[in-house]
């Protein structure tokens, strides 16, 4: 995952916590539903959003890449054999990385793999010098399907004659390894055509795992998205999109396929949250309010409310890209890359502080903390 530095450059510094909350409240309609769009968030911030939306009867949507939906669709129809980075770097006799994104998403992965006692084959171009895989098969993403099909058929019908050196290399490496991890950036596969490639990987995994171990590991590039999805799931049972109207929680999973403009038409107000700094631009939904890390406001829309990013100046819990580890960040960012940054910046509140204050304000105004009290009589039936 990309490590970003947050600085005070670009931070307006004009607003206190109370002022920031006021600016958000001023935008929230009292008579129409608001959509709380979570682009990337830590556990604490997500929980605050959920409670705010419950108090107001609003909706929540966690921005999804098409790759997330694709992987879910495939895994739900085939089963899935997975693993984590610890196994990839510590246990695998063979690591196969593929695609053009993995080296940028995990810049330290290469060093770990070259330290490990494993054979490393990369399918695609490799540009990250001086670290290099043991073997590079310079196959384009568009040609992966054909290569994997060749390997799958060779694994299935061992009598097939050798077709080319690339598939022979892969076939031999896989059959000689007791534990293989295939690793890619989750955003590598996005559409219906890519789905064919992903299904080939799953088929190889299932076939080989009958006698050896071959596990799949897509690395989620956006830990805040993983974190928000997991948090929404354990609190509501649903992900990525829910409606919390009338005290009921209803799944709105079909929204994962909505075009962005449809969200704008469906909601009077959209509040965008990104509590974890990221380089990618925010989705263009024409949000009314954008709660974003200071210094990363370029793509923010509407009323911009700046916060200190989790991991770079504020504490929060995030899940790692392989969902294996929830790490407490206390102004440091310590992940598999081994890189750390300890810059604290003064000024903006954290998203957690901001949302917590907002939640209290809203819950007071809606009376969401009212308790019944007094004598209890059990005349019949349950209370």
Partner 1 sequence: MRTEIRNGWVVDPQHPGHARAGSIWIEGEQIIEAPAEEQAADESVDASGCIVMAGGIDIHTHIGGGKVNLARMLQSSQPVDERTVWPTRQTGRLYNDIGYTSCFEPAMLLPTARHTHWELRDTPGIDSGAYVVLGNEDWLLRQLGQGIETAQLDALVGWAVSASRALAIKVVNPGGINAFRFNQRQLDVDERHRAYGVTPRDVVRELTASAVRLGLPHPLHVHASNLGVPGNIESTLATLRAAEGCPIHLTHAQFNCYGTEGKFGMSSAAERLSRFVNQHDNVTLDVGQVLFGQTVTISADTRAQYENSRFADGKRWIVSDMGASAGCGVVPMRYEDDRFVHSLQWCIGLELLLLIEDPWRVFLTTDHPNGGPFTCYPHLMRLLMDKSFRQDQLGRIHPDAAGMTALQEIDREYTVDEIAIITRLAPAKILSLDDRGSLVPGQLADVSVFRRHSDWEATFRDCVCLVKNGRIRSDALSGIDAGRLLSAAPEFDRGVVEKYRELLSSAYGCSLGGLEISQTELDEIYRN
Residue 231 three-state SS: helix
Question: What are the structure tokens assigned to 211, written together?
Answer: 């006698």
Interacting residues of 46 by C-beta distance below 8 A, sequence separation 6+: 38, 227, 228, 231, 232
- 51-110 positions binding partner 1, by CB under 8 A: 51, 54, 75-87, 89-91
Instruction: Say whether residue 372 binds partner 1 (CB under 8 A).
Output: yes
Compose the 167-206 pattern: x for residues touching partner 1 by CB under 8 A, - for all others: -----------xx---------------------------
- 217-246 positions binding partner 1, by CB under 8 A: 229-231, 233-239
CB neighbour burial string for 254-263, b if at least 16 within 10 angstroms, e if fewer: ebbeeeeeeb
* Cα distance between residue 299 and residue 306, in whole Å: 13
- 271-310 positions binding partner 1, by CB under 8 A: none
Instruction: Say whether residue 164 binds partner 1 (CB under 8 A).
Output: no
Instruction: Say whether residue 43 binds partner 1 (CB under 8 A).
Output: yes
- Nearest distance in Å: CB 235, partner 1: 6
CB neighbour burial string for 20-51, b if at least 16 within 10 angstroms, e if fewer: bbeebeebbeeeebbbbbbbbbbbbbbbbbbb
Task: Confirm if 252 and 241 have CB atoms less than 8 A apart.
Answer: yes
Burial (CB count <10 Å: 0-12, 13-18, 19+), residue 352:
buried
Q: Which is nearer to partner 1, 78 or 168 (CB)?
A: 78
Number of residues that bind partner 1 (CB under 8 A): 71
Instruction: Say whether residue 265 binds partner 1 (CB under 8 A).
Output: no
Instruction: Say whether residue 253 binds partner 1 (CB under 8 A).
Output: yes
Only segment of 10-18, 26-34, 63-71, 371-379 that touches partner 1 (CB under 8 A): 371-379
- Nearest distance in Å: CB 300, partner 1: 26
Please give the DSSP secondary-structure letter assigned to residue 191: S
Instruction: Say whether residue 326 binds partner 1 (CB under 8 A).
Output: yes
- 330-349 positions binding partner 1, by CB under 8 A: 334-336
- Nearest distance in Å: CB 313, partner 1: 16
* Cα distance between residue 351 and residue 338, in whole Å: 25
- Nearest distance in Å: CB 254, partner 1: 11
């Amino acid at each position: 995952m990309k490590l970003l530095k947050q600085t005070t450059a670009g931070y307006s510094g004009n607003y206190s916590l109370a002022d920031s909350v006021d600016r958000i409240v001023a935008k929230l309609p009292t008579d129409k539903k608001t959509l709380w769009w979570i682009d990337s968030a830590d556990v604490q911030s997500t929980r605050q959003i959920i409670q705010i939306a419950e108090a107001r009867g609003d909706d929540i949507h966690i921005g999804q890449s098409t790759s997330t939906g694709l992987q879910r669709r495939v895994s739900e129809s085939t089963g899935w054999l997975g693993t984590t980075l610890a196994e990839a770097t510590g246990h695998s006799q063979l690591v196969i990385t593929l695609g053009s994104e993995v080296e940028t998403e995990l810049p330290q992965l290469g060093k770990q793999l070259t330290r490990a006692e494993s054979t490393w084959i990369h399918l695609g171009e490799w540009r990250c010098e001086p670290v290099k895989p043991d073997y590079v098969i310079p196959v384009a993403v568009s040609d992966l399907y054909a290569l994997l099909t060749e390997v799958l058929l060779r694994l299935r019908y061992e009598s097939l004659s050798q077709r080319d050196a690339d598939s022979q290399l892969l076939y031999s490496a896989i059959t000689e390894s007791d534990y293989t991890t295939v690793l890619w950036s989750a955003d590598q596969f996005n559409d219906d055509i890519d789905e064919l490639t992903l299904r080939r990987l799953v088929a190889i995994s299932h076939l080989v795992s009958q006698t050896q171990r071959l596990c799949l590991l897509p690395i989620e590039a956006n830990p805040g998205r993983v974190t928000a999805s997991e948090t929404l799931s354990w609190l509501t049972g649903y992900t990525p999109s829910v409606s919390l109207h009338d005290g009921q929680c209803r799944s709105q999973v079909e929204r994962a396929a909505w075009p962005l403009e449809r969200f704008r038409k469906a909601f009077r107000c959209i509040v965008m949250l990104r509590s974890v700094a990221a380089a990618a631009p925010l989705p263009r939904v024409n949000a009314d309010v954008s709660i974003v890390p200071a210094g990363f406001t370029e793509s923010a829309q509407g009323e911009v409310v700046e916060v200190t990013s989790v991991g770079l100046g504020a504490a929060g819990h995030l899940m790692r890209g392989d969902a294996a580890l929830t790490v407490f960040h206390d102004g440091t960012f310590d992940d598999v890359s081994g890189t750390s940054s300890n810059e604290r910046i003064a000024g903006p509140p954290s998203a957690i502080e901001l949302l917590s204050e907002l939640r209290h304000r809203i819950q007071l105004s809606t009376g969401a903390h009212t308790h019944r009290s007094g004598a209890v009589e059990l005349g019949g039936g349950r209370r």
